[in-house]
């Protein structure tokens, strides 16, 4: 299973939209007769690659797979059926498939007489595809909220200027994080005021060939000439103020698993109050404003004992000298006293 996990995470394998999966086939004496991993949407699944490598040696073998073999026909046929037809004797799985469309492979194989087990190194398997697993289990995408702030918690000056609170190295670092997500989301006010492009660019400021879905959330009409509506990437306007409704739609209607949320303070407060912020990434600039727009709007918290607690999971200095910012990565916890 450790080998299956290793090859599943081979360099160059995309993080989505499909999960990363590895498979190792073992003969009865424990020797490896085939292995394979999924290389991205449209490519053969890990089990099929391993079966192809093993050929006739797959009959009577044990398949060790990081994710339950799929039980549906998509771009490829069901892997559960491929293992049955190959004559595999036993299948050991780390993680059950949380996707209700694809799950059920273990039951299908057991009904065909294959010995099945699951749960081996399941936490390691989940770590391969955290956002994908989360989205299928929760019915909504994982949400990373990113914002830049001064030391005194301001995202813009009193006159509304906000470019640039973060330093050039921090902005380049943001594009690295954007590229890990399949969706970028802002509110209508951010589109009106800042006119963001919301594309992902490389260190040379060139757009990447594959772009996340751009999403605008809010009920008001917007100027179609805003940069977010150009042809650099697909854009969806979700006409709702309800964060959970928007996220559910992104999962159900658009197949999205990881949202990079860059909304302003009002929308950020709405997401926090709805309990749908799963990760916080903030770039703290070594500057003071004393007044201006806060990073987040009112949260109905009136005493320190009720503060929303966050756990720091990473602290990194991005850039050097006068361009240095501190990047904090945090996991939201519960409100104090709850």
Residue 280's nearest CA partner among 332, 244, 243 is 332
Residue 279's nearest CA partner among 154, 162, 141 is 141
| Superfamily of domain covering 2-129 | Cytidine Deaminase, domain 2 (3.40.140.10)
Task: Find the Cα–Cα–Cα–Cα dihedral 76, 77, 79, 81, rounded to 10°.
Answer: -170
The fold of the 139-335 domain, in CATH, is Dihydrofolate Reductase, subunit A (3.40.430)
Q: What is the pLDDT of residues 63-101, one digit of tens each?
A: 999 999 998 877 677 999 999 999 999 999 999 999 888
SS3 content of the chain, % helix, strand, coil (to 5): 30, 25, 45
Q: Distance between CA atoms of 142 and 90, rounded to whole angstroms?
A: 34
Q: Distance between CA atoms of 146 and 259, rounded to whole angstroms?
A: 10
> Has 47 been annotated as catalytic?
yes
264 is in an annotated binding site: yes
Q: How many CB atoms lie within 10 A of CB 338?
A: 8
To the nearest 10 degrees (0 to 180), the angle between helices 46-54 and 79-86 is 20
What is the number of residues in the chain? 338
3-state secondary structure at position 306:
helix
| Domains of the chain by residue range | 2-129, 139-335
262 is in an annotated binding site: yes
Is residue 269 a contact partner of residue 299, using CB atoms and an 8 Å limit?
yes
194 is in an annotated binding site: yes
268 is in an annotated binding site: yes
Task: Give whole-number Cα distances, 108 to 77, 78, 118, 158, in Å.
Answer: 14, 10, 14, 63
Is residue 260 a contact partner of residue 185, using CB atoms and an 8 Å limit?
yes
Catalytic pick among 35, 47, 49, 68: 47
Q: What is the pLDDT of residues 114-167, one digit of tens each?
A: 999 999 999 999 999 999 999 999 999 999 999 999 999 999 888 877 777 999
Token pair recorded at residue 224: 């179609």
Q: What is the pLDDT of residues 221-273, one digit of tens each?
A: 999 999 999 999 999 999 999 999 999 999 999 999 999 999 999 999 999 99
pTM: 0.89
The dihedrals phi and psi of 95, each to the nearest 5 degrees, come to -110, 130
């Amino acid at each position: 299973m450790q080998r299956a996990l290793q090859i599943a995470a081979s360099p160059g394998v995309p993080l989505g939209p499909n999960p990363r999966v590895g498979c190792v086939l073992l003969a009865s004496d424990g020797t490896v007769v085939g292995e394979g991993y999924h290389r991205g949407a449209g490519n053969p699944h890990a089990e099929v690659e391993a079966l192809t490598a093993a050929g006739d040696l797959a009959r009577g073998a044990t398949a060790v797979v990081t994710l339950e073999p799929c039980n549906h026909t998509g771009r490829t046929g069901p892997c559960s059926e491929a293992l049955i037809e190959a004559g595999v004797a036993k299948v050991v799985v780390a993680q059950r498939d949380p996707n209700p469309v694809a799950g059920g492979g273990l039951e299908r194989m057991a009904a065909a007489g294959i010995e099945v087990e699951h749960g081996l190194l399941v936490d390691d398997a989940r770590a391969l595809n955290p956002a994908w697993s989360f989205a299928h289990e929760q019915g909504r995408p994982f949400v990373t909220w990113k914002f830049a702030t001064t030391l005194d918690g301001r995202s813009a000056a009193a006159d509304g200027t906000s470019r640039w609170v973060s330093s050039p190295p921090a902005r380049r670092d943001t594009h690295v994080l954007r590229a890990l997500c399949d969706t970028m989301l802002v509110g209508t006010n951010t589109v009106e005021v800042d006119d963001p492009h919301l594309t992902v660019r490389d260190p040379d400021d060139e757009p990447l060939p594959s772009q996340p879905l751009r999403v605008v959330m809010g009920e008001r009409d917007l100027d179609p000439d805003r940069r977010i509506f150009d042809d650099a990437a697909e854009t969806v306007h979700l006409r709702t103020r309800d964060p959970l409704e928007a996220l559910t739609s992104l999962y159900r209607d658009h197949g999205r698993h990881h949202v990079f949320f860059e909304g302003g303070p009002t929308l950020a407060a709405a997401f926090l109050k709805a309990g749908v912020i799963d990760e916080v990434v903030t770039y703290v600039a070594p500057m003071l404003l004393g007044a201006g727009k806060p990073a987040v709007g009112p949260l109905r918290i009136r005493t320190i004992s009720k503060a929303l607690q966050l756990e720091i999971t990473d602290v990194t200095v991005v850039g050097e000298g006068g361009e240095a910012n501190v990047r904090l990565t945090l996991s939201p916890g519960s409100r104090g006293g709850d």
